[in-house]
Structure 1
Amino acid sequence: MIRIGVDLGGTKTEVAAIDSDGHTRYSVRDATPEQYESKIRLIAALVQRTEETLQSDSLPVGIGHPGSLSPVTGLIRNSNSASLNGRALDKDLAAALNRPVRCANDANCFALSEAIDGAGQGATSVFGAILGTGVGGGLVLNNSLHEGHGLLGGEWGHTSLPWPTAEEVPGPLCKCGLTSCIESWISGPALSADHQRHSGESLTGADIHERAREGDAVAAASLDRFQDRLARGLATIINIVDPEVFVLGGGLSNMPNLAEETRQRLPQYVFSDQVTTRILRNTHGDSSGVRGAAWLWPLT
């Protein structure tokens, strides 16, 4: 059985046909247009191109997108692609494709991909943690996505940083309007902002890591604060959900040794005599989103 996954990103849209063995049979990318109606037309065109290439039609289609569908209104909310907010994305795509579609938050799709045949394969519970321009996540239990009662499962980026130090109070203002959200501390822009507050120098996360590796004490301190905050955030998830595996995604997950360094800090924050939760770097990288979207349709 072949499933089509769609990763609707802010700058690019990817469509891929994935077979039951996890092999990509065809994939195509294009720039994501600004207007909502243009996004719908683009997805329909890319799906049509995929099916024509495979000489198939009416294949199952799953969509990964920023934000989430409100179970109350049926409309997209909390998307950083503003044109999606207030729109019935699932219904509009179903009409454009002339078939049912399944939609999920892009971080949830990442988690599902890594749980099924990625770094978390074989684990009964996997939490995918996105560390990029924003911070998001998804929880997969027994290879099934757990979105929660209000479809908000995994939104740990908009919980407060736990066990703050005096220096961390009241914390930065988050784009959601609250202060000290985890996203405002451990996203890519947050790491850069924290380093600038302490050094007066504007650097990317990759630059900070490289400076620390070369022996720069200020950069090393910035990286140390980041890893400690990440450990605190993940420890809270362990204390509530206790997943078997964390899989890290997003641009910051590419920093060498981040998973190992963070894992060593967990015991001081987790309410247990020992911590066996693994922290792993993702397997599928940028392709996790589109693969997870395809896996929104059951494997059997």
Structure 2
Amino acid sequence: MHDRSTRQSQRSGTVLAADVGGSFIRLARSTHPGNIELLEKLPTPADSWEEFGCALETTLRTHAPNEEWPLALSIAGLVDPDTTTALSANIPCITGHKLSLELGERLQRRVIAANDADCLTLAEAIEGAGKGHDIVFCAVLGTGVGGGLVVDGRLVRGKGGLTGEWGHGPILNTSVDLDGQTVLVPRFSCGCGQSGCVDTVGGARGIERLHRFLNAADATSHEIIQDWLDGCQMAGRTISAYLQLVADPLAAVVNVTGTSIIPVGGGLATASELISAIDEAVRARILRKTEQPIVVPGIFGSDGGLVGAAILGHQA
């Protein structure tokens, strides 16, 4: 359903897309959704609003002098959809600025901005692993946990742009069953100011935190996952706890949104066996019983934000 309605509302012609991270800005040109041509990669002036605007102005003057081409930004941070006011720990200079208004005036073109997880979700929903599904929830499992929601081909951003932030909801049950023994996992402090958020255990750092708590041993998430695949008992305890803690809230997301597919982005998306195990645990907990996978690896990887920003520009 969403493919038809999205095509009807898409902008024809060229749009510009920029993936704005804490370290780099990647600028691309797109002539149709799903197609991007990388134009330039430049360092992000993360600490100076003036230098940030100047960097965009200079690169657009070089690569995109046509002011009729809108610019869509994928931002590593929150973007209020009503005001486009940004909040970003990785790019502190943009915090408090109204991106569409202020950059639009400076760059003399229309500017659209959204959170990078939202852009990734849009990419996976329209051109990626969620293509053909009416409701797509994307789970970002990177250093921490994020997400986004697309319904009928359109982002559902919500008040303050907070839709999809399941990582900052509480772990539903911190008691995990490990080989018949009940273990109570602490509600770890979260960077958002709360305690017990899914973000504290659901990403790569969360796996490492769980491993340290359960086994009094330090290892990287990559090492833990590989050891789990190799049959290591300690790593097996960690991943078992991880699956229980993450599958409960993700199953709640499925029941609440009605999504039929959850593409996974972020660094953990490359661990296909882990994603498969999450999928099995989630499907065991949801109301709608299905043999079809729901939690699947996304297909765009690090390009998801850029592809999604381009789609956002075409829809604007």
Q: Render the CA deviation track for 1:190-236: whole Å, top value 9, x for unaligned.
A: 11111122223222211111112222111122122222222222101
What TM-score do the two structures reach when normalised by structure 2? 0.86
SS of match in other structure, 2:312: coil
Give unpaired runs (5+ residues) of structure 2. Answer: 1-12, 176-181
CA distance 1:72–1:195, shift in 2 (3 Å): same
- The alpha-carbon distance between structure 1 residues 74 and 24, as it changes in their structure 2 partners (threshold 3 A), is closer
Q: CA deviation at 1:299?
A: 4.8
> What amino acid does structure 2 have at the position aligned with 1:39?
F
- 2:179 — aligned with what? none
State how 1:26-175 maps to structure 2 within 5 Å: 26-37=38-49, 38-51=51-64, 56-70=66-80, 75-77=85-87, 79-165=89-175, 167-168=183-184, 170-175=186-191
Answer with 71-80 or 28-37: which moved more.
71-80
In structure 2, what residue type is equivalent to 1:251?
G
- One-letter amino acid of the counterpart of residue 32, structure 1: T
| Amino acid aligned to 1:227 | L
Equivalent position amino acid for 2:205 in 1: P
Match of 2:9 in 1: none
What is the Cα deviation at residue 277 of structure 1? 6.2
Tell me, in whole angstroms, the C-alpha distance in 1 between the residues paired with 2:37 and 2:82: 37
Say whether the 8 Å CA contact 1:74–1:88 is kept in structure 2: yes
Distance 1:267 1:184 in 2: 23
In 2, distance between residues paired with 1:113 and 1:73? 23
Number of equivalenced pairs: 297
**1:206 matched to 2:230:** no
Given candidates 183, 186, 189, the residue that maps to 2:199 is 183
Structure 2 residue identity aligned to 1:132: G
When the two structures are superposed, what TM-score results if normalisation uses the length of structure 1?
Answer: 0.90
1:161-200 CA distance string (max 9 Å, x none):
1133174455100011111101011111111111122223
Change (3 A) 1:237 1:4: same
Share of identical aligned residues, percent?
27
Q: Alpha carbon RMSD of aligned pairs, Å?
A: 2.2
One-letter identity of the residue aligned with 1:99:
R
The C-alpha deviation readout for 1:107-163, integer Å capped at 9, x for no partner, is 000000111111111111111111112211110111111101332111111000113
Aligned to 1:246: 262
In the other structure, the counterpart of 2:3 is none
Distance 2:143 2:298 in 1: 17
| Shift of residue 263, structure 1, vs aligned partner | 1.3
Partner Cα distance (1:72, 1:107) in 2? 18
TM-aligned CA deviation for residue 26 of structure 1: 3.3
| Matched residue, 2:16 | 4
Q: Is the aligned partner of 1:295 residue 2:315?
A: no
- In the aligned structure 1, how far is the partner of 2:146 from the partner of 2:252? 14
- In structure 1, list runs of 5 or more residues that go unmatched: none
Aligned residue identity for 1:241: T
Query: Conserved in 2, the CA contact under 8 Å of 1:147 and 1:153?
Result: yes
> SS state of the match for residue 120, structure 2?
helix
In 2, the alpha carbon distance for the partners of 1:180 and 1:275 equals 31
